[in-house]
Amino acid sequence: MRALHMLLGALAGVTLLALVPAMGTGVGGALLAALAGVFAAGVVLGRARADALALGALASLAVVAGSSLSAAAGGALGIALLHGARARRARSFVGGALVMALATAGGALAVVLIRRYTGFGIERELSALVVAAALTALPFAIPTDDEVAFGLRGSLDGAKGVRRKRMLRALAIRRRPLHRTPELEAAWAGMPAILSRASDEVSSARLRALIRAERAAHRLESAELAIGSDAAPFDAERQLAAELEAIEDLAAPPTND
């Protein structure tokens, strides 16, 4: 999945550099360029978020302006803005700076390469586009947080004591590589708000239940990779389903018998 995301992000980046300058001028051309940037930014981030879409529109305008002023500067700024939302979601300040540095350098080199080989035959042009796409994908080398982890990081502001420690534990668990089912993802979705706003008793119970579900998901993933254990995946799947059901029970309002 990550490889597919990187491939699509590379295609979005090189498309922005190669096609947006050719969309023409005027209101219609600017609108098409902005829409292309919005779409490319959503692809690069992997989801539609307001900050990414706004930066994507600015990225396309930077590329258009650069085509008539400085192509390298326009490409550098355009790809940097395209990855701006990912830089915000980097796991550290250094990681965010590296995302921006790689995006700036990759964008500048990519647009110079595209311009250098334009008109030299289809084979050279395609080769240049492939290399340019790889250059615009350089920022993907730096890992970033998904929306749940990003939300947990945002909830850390102002959190103290046990609540902060609980959020940090949830963040560490969320960052572990694991194939999560849609049901498990749904259980994670509300955790930033729960951990920051709910009572200590409720947030602690939800986190413990989620940790048990994560462990069950890990056992299921390990069982599916094991050889010659037919019953193991079924048992692990049943345990994961039970843990997810327990989370739903915790989320359900109490009933009066």
C-alpha torsion sign, points 108, 88, 82, 174: positive
**Can you give the pLDDT at residue 221?**
77
**Can you give the pLDDT at residue 254?**
43
Find tokens 């970033």 and name the residue: 144
**Can you give the pLDDT at residue 69?**
79
- The proportion of the chain whose per-residue pLDDT surpasses 70, expressed as a percent, equals 90
Q: What is the pLDDT of residues 126-162, one digit of tens each?
A: 999 999 999 999 999 999 998 889 988 888 887 788 8
Whole-structure pTM value: 0.80
**Can you give the pLDDT at residue 76?**
94
Extract the residue ranges of the chain whose pLDDT is less than 70.
24-26, 224-236, 249-257
Q: Are 18 and 112 in contact (CB under 8 A)?
A: no
